Amino acid sequence: MAKVMFTSLVSDVRNRVGTIVYSKWKKTHYVREHVPHNRSASAKQLEVRSAFILLVEIWKSMDGIMQESWENSAKRQNMTGYNSFLGRNSKNVRNNEALELFRELGEEQPLASLSASGGASGSIVCAFVMPADSAGRHVIFFSQKIDAGKETAEIKRHEADPNPASPFTITGLEPGVSYFIYAVVTDNTYANATTVSTALSVPATAGV
């Protein structure tokens, strides 16, 4: 990629001209050769593409404190929360592993422990231990459906009352279907939360 200097007669050029692409980034103009898109992508490229499509859908659906936690964390890396979320989780999706759903934002202590197992039909029972000094704190659970061994963008939120007692039962799931269960500590309901911990996650299958 070459840097471009303009004269008083030509001050700006953008987009592609023939086989040359002109672009601008941070007030600096660049020129590079146009490389046609290769539509015959490899299996690995398709896998990466599929992972990013899934993560974009999840990012759009998980607004509020989840996005805020990533935006706050990404500031230290001089990037956006969106890009940080995709970068950290692309490999997780490709390996069918639980996501890193939240970054710590004002809640340094996550749950001390989390386990989950199937309960009554369509339910998962979550046993957990609150962190120290957690008076007035909320615990918010999330269920992410796994379909044919692949995680999906279907993530549902399940909120416990303040100072919740273990166990907490998630209901309304599909009987016999597997899920990733996530849990975070917040200072308020999800809609009003200003602080959040990182998430603990476990796999579980809803009762039949």
- Ranges of each domain in the chain: 2-33, 43-94, 113-205
What pLDDT does 18 receive? 61
- Read off the amino acid at residue 97: E
Cα Dmax for the chain: 75
What pLDDT does 12 receive? 53
Report the distance separating Cα 149 and Cα 99, nearest Å.
Answer: 15
From residue 202, give the alpha-carbon distance in Å to each of 52, 141, 182. 22, 11, 7
pLDDT tens, residue order, the chain (208 aa) = 555 455 554 455 556 666 677 776 656 666 666 666 666 667 778 888 999 999 999 999 998 999 999 999 999 888 999 999 999 999 999 999 999 999 999 999 999 999 999 999 999 999 999 999 899 999 999 999 999 999 999 999 999 999 999 999 999 999 999 999 999 999 999 999 999 999 999 999 999 9
- With H, G, I as helix, E, B as strand and everything else as coil, classify residue 79: coil
What pLDDT does 10 receive? 47
Report the distance separating Cα 28 and Cα 208, nearest Å.
Answer: 61
* CA 193, 194, 200, 202 torsion-angle sign: positive
Strand ranges across the sheet with 178-186: 150-159, 138-147, 178-186, 200-205
CATH match for 113-205 among 3.10.450.750, 3.40.50.10280, 3.40.50.620, 2.60.40.10: 2.60.40.10
From residue 22, give the alpha-carbon distance in Å to each of 7, 8, 38, 107, 110. 15, 18, 21, 46, 48
From residue 101, give the alpha-carbon distance in Å to each of 60, 107, 115, 126, 144. 13, 15, 17, 18, 11
Report the distance separating Cα 154 and Cα 43, nearest Å.
Answer: 24
Are 136 and 185 in contact by the 8 Å Cβ rule? The answer is no
List the structure tokens of 193. 């939360």
Alpha helices by DSSP H, the chain:
43-61, 65-74, 81-94
How many C-beta atoms surround the C-beta of residue 55 within 10 A? 21
How many C-beta atoms surround the C-beta of residue 26 within 10 A? 4
